[in-house]
Amino acid sequence: MHRVVSAEIDLETAASVDLIFQIATRADVPLASESLTFSQDVDPVELIAADGTRYHRIRSLEGRLEVRYTAVVQTQDAPSPTSDVELITYMRPSRYSESDILFGQARRQFRGLAGAELVQAVADYVSESLAYTSGASNGTDSAATILPKGQGVCRDYTHSVVALLRAMDVPARYTACYAPGLVPMDFHAVAEAYLDGAWHVIDATRLANRRGLVRIATGVDAAACAWLSYHGGSVSLKRLQVDAEADAPLADDDHTALVQIA
């Protein structure tokens, strides 16, 4: 299976500003080809985190900036292994996945469950507790504010799953990804739970076919996986178009089963 993923981003900046993009696939994703271009004459720096997440940093000029990314993704083998230090990180509360606040609720709700059964129970609980609603949440919402609200988008579902899993001592991370077949097409986010030496994907929104996902960034939560961060100025987004296609149909995704992505 080949997948073609792309992002077209048009920005306006009133002044020169530092921009960090997380739109390229993780370093362990096997690519047939890849291209990242900027309309301004800038000199992008690629940084690769220990976990394989790639950052592209530029200093923009004032004015319009058009960013184009596209990659052809091959069938993946196993992803790079996760270090023990990383796993410790994924047990901790984080900004948007406050497992410390949700500890009591999780312990009560999921008492006696472990392993795959626990992961599935958390996925089902979040899926039933939230209604997918654009615009109901904002950038400072987190697991602890979303569960009382009962509404959110993929970011919020993922934060809730991650927080509840960590409260149950399961290492869990946030994964930003390209999702072939997603409607409406956009950047997507899912949770991953570490069980028996491998990461299992949870999409509590039930919107994506997990086998088609292509990882961009993995991290503690959305704070670590933003497709754009900037410092020292402001940025206006003029256009964002994300695309992701697979060259073969994907088998239906049964969200009651565990799935890994390579």
Residues engaged in binding a copy of itself (CB under 8 A): 20, 45, 47-50, 55, 57, 84-85, 88-89, 91-95, 98, 100-109, 129-131, 133, 136, 139-140, 144, 147-151, 169, 223-224, 229, 231-232
User: How many Å apart are CA 100 and CA 92, to the nearest integer?
Assistant: 8
Nearer Cβ to a copy of itself, position 37 or 133?
Answer: 133
Nearer Cβ to a copy of itself, position 169 or 243?
Answer: 169
Report, in Å, the least distance between residue 235 CB and a copy of itself: 13
Nearer Cβ to a copy of itself, position 224 or 242?
Answer: 224
Report, in Å, the least distance between residue 248 CB and a copy of itself: 35
**What are the angstrom distances between the C-alpha of 261 and each of 29, 96, 191, 210?**
11, 24, 12, 7
Nearer Cβ to a copy of itself, position 40 or 105?
Answer: 105
User: How many Å apart are CA 200 and CA 174, to the nearest integer?
Assistant: 12
Element (H, E) at 160: helix 154-167
Contact present, 212 and 190 (Cβ < 8 Å): no
Instruction: Give the neighbor-by-neighbor strand order of the sheet with 63-73.
Output: 31-38, 63-73, 3-13, 235-246
Question: Residues 6 or more apart from 111 whose CB is under 8 A from it?
Answer: none
Report, in Å, the least distance between residue 28 CB and a copy of itself: 16
Report, in Å, the least distance between residue 145 CB and a copy of itself: 8
Report, in Å, the least distance between residue 123 CB and a copy of itself: 17
Nearer Cβ to a copy of itself, position 77 or 111?
Answer: 111
User: How many Å apart are CA 60 and CA 180, to the nearest integer?
Assistant: 30
Nearer Cβ to a copy of itself, position 93 or 212?
Answer: 93
**What are the angstrom distances between the C-alpha of 95 and each of 26, 44, 178, 206, 222?**
22, 29, 23, 24, 9
Report, in Å, the least distance between residue 80 CB and a copy of itself: 15
